[in-house]
Structure 1
């Protein structure tokens, strides 16, 4: 600095320069932070406002929907009628046609009370008459479906008893293998639902358990053949002529003819057994087992789940055999029983297994098993 002919010098140390620069940088950063916070607050405010508008729009939409319900009860009732039509068609398409005439003693009949309810609602709240009629129709359908399930369960119970098995044991064995997450059908105090729906659920469960048991009872002819060449019980041994016990039925047939599973089950043995030759065994549950022997070819695999009428092998003459035939046994708790009552019993076919009926007919399930050579 020059002043009156004199020169003076002002020296600024490095430390002071760094301090001044740091202060300026801090001021700039503070300024940027304030601007950023103001901008962020503006954006958040706009977002909150947008969310509030969205919630208000949703509330307005729901309120308008309620208003539409109030103003168009007949339209809503017509829509529910169409849904009920759809539900009934789906149910009947799954289990088959439900007869109009069913025993009424198995479940309550709410038709009279439902009709009185419709009349009262018609007088008190005419606009809700259509909805009351939909409810009346639903209750009638639920009770009709319950009677159908009870009727089928009774038929299955009778058929299972005819072949010497216990229906309760069949149902218990199926029920023993169940599980899954708990999903309530009703919530709130008491967790209660209309008893008519609970009754329907119980009836459908029992019908399903017994129908599954029926599918595992040997009722399909194991071979599409002309006659039985040897029956169950004591006979003259075909090799030495002495008295012997025959533990099954012999179906004579051509070499290589198909052999069918007599019922649904799991293949528990494939291979060679002494005296039986090539052999397949199928376990059906409830202590039931079927054995197919003297095969020329085995077409089943260990652990395979088979349906009635599934091809499991071919007729042959392996093992202790005098010619091509199928030796067929039914065993309960490993004790041989006469297969005839099983094959000849007129068991009702489960409604949920329509596809199996075609297989069983192809396998000769409806052919008489009593012809002898």
Structure 2
């Protein structure tokens, strides 16, 4: 028994020794593989850096091809970017300074001359995009002003930081985290353009129905019941009972029901104090809270309320003040069929 115990002890020691050697070998092999992996990664980066150093002209040529691609695609979709400077514009013009930079780099560091040329093209490109955004903003402002809207109130909302949030995703154009002021100006110009053009897109620009003719205009008229002087806050469009009525602009339905003198009414809120009202309906085809697009069916022509016959009374109100709807509807002609087609596609 003593001999058997001694043999068993020796076997146990032998097994533990083998296990220890196996574990040690595994750990050593793992560390070696890890080291080789790190060396391979470093070698890959070093080889790439070496390639850059050996052929900086090729790197510059690749960057030039990318800029060529950007220029062509942009030109195809946006047209030629403006290069001229107009009165009142504050967009920088780096052409002269960029040319001087290319000249100096060519003398001091000839191998980087091609990179300086690409940089000059990049700056000219970003300044051209900024001019384009500013001119589109100016055109949108002019259209809004002609319709009696104040573009400043729209732009003021860009500076209102209440009820905003989200993750911090900083933008930078340099390795130290700073941003070139030309690129910052470009971003602000795009934001301004987007705010103004989004406001334009939300304006009434679609006829609210397929109607025979305007039976009463905006402003002064003889009252149809009393014959006395009367202010009419909208446009009346004659049409048969049950004919469809369409949303004139994108928005959200804010009221469906009856109002004194108007009969059955649908109101759509388009934001920024703008509202359209559709009155004297014979039936509703929408509900409060529903988001609608131009040309979407919202009701049927009728003769409810203070009305002498079936028609649609259509109002445009800004901050609860009625304004003439005609300039809005005439701002974008021939859009009714497109709007209806979009609404039909959405309803499928």
1:108 equivalenced with 2:92 (yes/no): yes
Residues 32-86 of structure 1: CA deviation (Å, up to 9, x unaligned) = 4443232122112111111111111111111111121222323222322232234
Quick check: 1:250 aligned with 2:236? Answer: yes
Equivalent-residue separation in structure 2 for 1:42 and 1:279 (angstroms):
85
Q: Whole-Å Cα distance in 2 between the matches of residues 24 and 168 of structure 1?
A: 97
Which residue of structure 1 lines up, in the alignment, with residue 53 of structure 2? Answer: 70
CA RMSD of aligned residues (A): 3.2
Residues 98 and 204 (structure 1), Cα distance of their counterparts in 2 relative to 1, 3 Å cut = farther
2 CA distance for matches of 1:125 and 1:163? 57
Q: In the alignment, which of 18, 25, 31 is matched to residue 42 of structure 1?
A: 25
Q: Is the 8 A contact 2:95 2:120 kept in 1?
A: yes
SS in 2 for 1:294: strand
Please say if residues 281 and 289 of structure 1, whose CA atoms lie closer than 8 Å, have aligned partners that are also in contact.
yes
Q: Residue in 2 aligned with 1:141?
A: 125
- Look up the match of 1:169: 153
* Residues 205 and 335, structure 2, Cα contact 8 Å, conserved in 1: no
Give the secondary-structure state (helix, strand or coil) at the position aligned to 1:275.
Answer: coil
Structure-1 residue corresponding to 2:43: 60
Q: Which has the larger radius of gyration?
A: 1
Name the residue aligned to 2:220. Answer: 234
Q: Is the 8 A contact 1:309 1:359 kept in 2?
A: no
1:198 partnered with 2:184: yes
TM-superposed CA distance for 1:229, in Å, is 1.2
Inter-partner Cα distance in structure 1 for 2:52 and 2:281: 70
| 1:24 Cα offset (Å) | 8.0
Match of 1:5 in 2: none
Whole-Å Cα distance in 2 between the matches of residues 130 and 257 of structure 1?
A: 67
CA–CA distance in structure 2, aligned partners of residues 33 and 118 of structure 1: 72
1:221 positional shift: 2.9
Q: TM-score, normalised by structure 2?
A: 0.82
Kindly tell me the number of residue pairs found equivalent between the two proteins. 335
- How many Å separate the matches in 2 of 1:97 and 1:361? 28
The question of 1:160 aligning with 2:136 is answered no
**Which secondary structure state, in structure 2, belongs to the residue aligned with residue 202 of structure 1?**
helix
TM-score, with structure 1 as normaliser: 0.77
Identify the range of structure 1 (322-331 vs 167-176) with the bigger mean alpha-carbon deviation: 167-176
In structure 2, do the counterparts of structure 1 residues 32 and 275 end up closer, same or farther at CA, with 3 Å as the change threshold? farther
